[in-house]
Structure 1
Amino acid sequence: MKLDELYNNINQQGILAIKNHQEQLDKYLLAPETDLRRGLTIINPLPAHIRRNIMFCIQKLTTVEPVQYFYPASDLHITVIDLIAANNKFDLPVTEKEKYIEVLSQIVAQVNLIHWKLKGIIASPGAFLVKGYYSHELLDLRNLIRKELPANNLVLQERYQTISGHVTFARFTKPLQESRQLLDVLAEMKTIDLGQFTTNTLDLVVHDWYNRSPQLISKLPLRY
């Protein structure tokens, strides 16, 4: 499935859910102290100009739906790949952590810099997303990881085999109060240009579902 087709499908489902007042609410965000889910993930932090542009969109959306959960700028990221999907039984012994760092460093060093273009805001049934488009190096990296981790007896436990490169920046915590106005604002942002950038280093982190206070395990430089 191509990225545009994937993003269009997600957006159609999101708009339908909003129109029918069937949006998906995130129960964990209402009681964060009960959320013990943690996982091991490679993420792509966002440069300052991209975060600034996304925060501009957030400001417009908060005027319509201020009680929803909007990510702070520091938590915004792109998930490259979930190595161990966040769960409440997560445990990573030191020896295993060191092996992940060793193997992943070797894998990432084989892949050239990743180029990104972020353009357009869409809704899913439970969130708002920025559409991310990437160069083929990200696909190469994901395929290498999926091949090499099991070959090195390391767990690979993705939530799902992602092909997207999106940024989640808001989640629904309460029923939407201004659905029609919200859809109008989203329509205005359908093709908004949020910028381009190049990635030369990825972060291996232990974090929760929302990337709040991530624990950096290692910086993973790509090949120049």
Structure 2
Amino acid sequence: MGLKEHYNKMYRESIADIASDHYEIDDMIDSKSDNRFGISLVIRPSLEVKKNVRDFLDELNKVEPHQYYYPESDIHLTLLSIISCYEGFSLDSIDPSEYMAIAQKRITTLDEKIKIHFKGLTASKSCIMLKGYEEQPIINDLRNQLRRDFKHSELQQSLDERYLLKTAHATILRFKTELSNKNAFLTLVDRYADYDFGTFEVDTIELVYTDWYHREKLVKKLHEFKL
């Protein structure tokens, strides 16, 4: 199954679940005791793309004001979740420089530009996401190389424990309470299902210590890899 078909299958199935009230509410978003942290390599969209996303989310917010909308500062594409967020993880338990060294060695081998096109929406039972596409299949090749590098090291990692990341999606909304205007919400989501949010060229990959939601106030940037 190609990426477009995969995204569309996710969308159809998840929208059907949401329409029939089989969606999942995240009750940890506002929790003061949420202590799930991890280490990831992330890519941030351009300002233009983030503005287009924000305009869409502002419309959704008028219909469903009590959901969790990602602010522009937090919107990201996960290149690789090296240590998936878990309760109680802290930087004191690792040497970040060892992770930087492995990532640096691999990222510096890139000789092609990464361009990502965010076009349309997909979904899961718990969130709404942007559909990301590459002009050239570089990201998954890089992911697979980094997976091998980290798995062959003795560093703490939990690669692929949650799921094998193959897409270039970006989460932009999570359900944190029951939908109060479900039909209007789904109508608006459907209107943007194929909307062109823009294309950008990746110039930086970040290694970050992050919470589950990638909130700016909790994210600690460990290193920037310039492309």
The TM-score by the shorter chain falls in which range?
A: over 0.9
Partner of 1:8: 8
CA contact (8 A) 2:119 2:198 kept: yes
Q: After TM superposition, give the deviation of residue 97 of structure 1 in Å.
A: 1.2
- Is 1:208 matched up with 2:211? yes
Unaligned runs of 5+ in 1: none
Partner of 1:140: 141
- Is 1:56 matched up with 2:59? no
Partner of 2:185: 182
Unaligned runs of 5+ in 2: none
Which amino acid counterpart does residue 98 of structure 2 have in structure 1?
K
CA contact (8 A) 1:47 1:197 kept: yes
Which amino acid counterpart does residue 85 of structure 2 have in structure 1?
A
Q: In structure 2, do the counterparts of structure 1 residues 15 and 95 end up closer, same or farther at CA, with 3 Å as the change threshold? A: closer
Work out the CA distance in 2 between the residues paired with 1:85 and 1:138. Answer: 19
Partner of 1:219: 224
Which amino acid counterpart does residue 196 of structure 1 have in structure 2?
T
Partner of 2:88: 89
- Map 1:35-114 → 2, pairs under 5 A: 35-93=34-92, 96-111=95-110, 112-114=112-114
Work out the CA distance in 2 between the residues paired with 1:23 and 1:149. Answer: 35
Q: In structure 2, do the counterparts of structure 1 residues 94 and 21 end up closer, same or farther at CA, with 3 Å as the change threshold? A: closer
Work out the CA distance in 1 between the residues paired with 2:74 and 2:196. Answer: 20
Cα deviations across residues 12-31 of structure 1 (Å, max 9, x unaligned)?
22211211112100010132
Partner-residue secondary structure (3-state), 2:193 = coil
Q: After TM superposition, give the deviation of residue 5 of structure 1 in Å.
A: 2.1
**TM-score normalised according to structure 2 size:** 0.92
- Is 1:199 matched up with 2:202? yes
Work out the CA distance in 2 between the residues paired with 1:91 and 1:66. Answer: 33
Cα deviations across residues 48-88 of structure 1 (Å, max 9, x unaligned)?
00100000110111111111010111111111110000001
Greater helix content:
1
CA contact (8 A) 2:14 2:125 kept: yes
Aligned length: 221
Work out the CA distance in 1 between the residues paired with 2:26 and 2:94. Answer: 34
Work out the CA distance in 2 between the residues paired with 1:148 and 1:87. Answer: 22
Q: After TM superposition, give the deviation of residue 6 of structure 1 in Å.
A: 1.9
Partner-residue secondary structure (3-state), 1:119 = strand
**TM-score normalised according to structure 1 size:** 0.94
Identity %: 28
Work out the CA distance in 2 between the residues paired with 1:23 and 1:144. Answer: 35
Work out the CA distance in 2 between the residues paired with 1:6 and 1:90. Answer: 33
Q: After TM superposition, give the deviation of residue 186 of structure 1 in Å.
A: 1.1
Q: After TM superposition, give the deviation of residue 148 of structure 1 in Å.
A: 1.0
Q: In structure 2, do the counterparts of structure 1 residues 80 and 120 end up closer, same or farther at CA, with 3 Å as the change threshold? A: same
CA contact (8 A) 2:94 2:156 kept: no
CA contact (8 A) 1:146 1:156 kept: no
Q: After TM superposition, give the deviation of residue 34 of structure 1 in Å.
A: 1.4
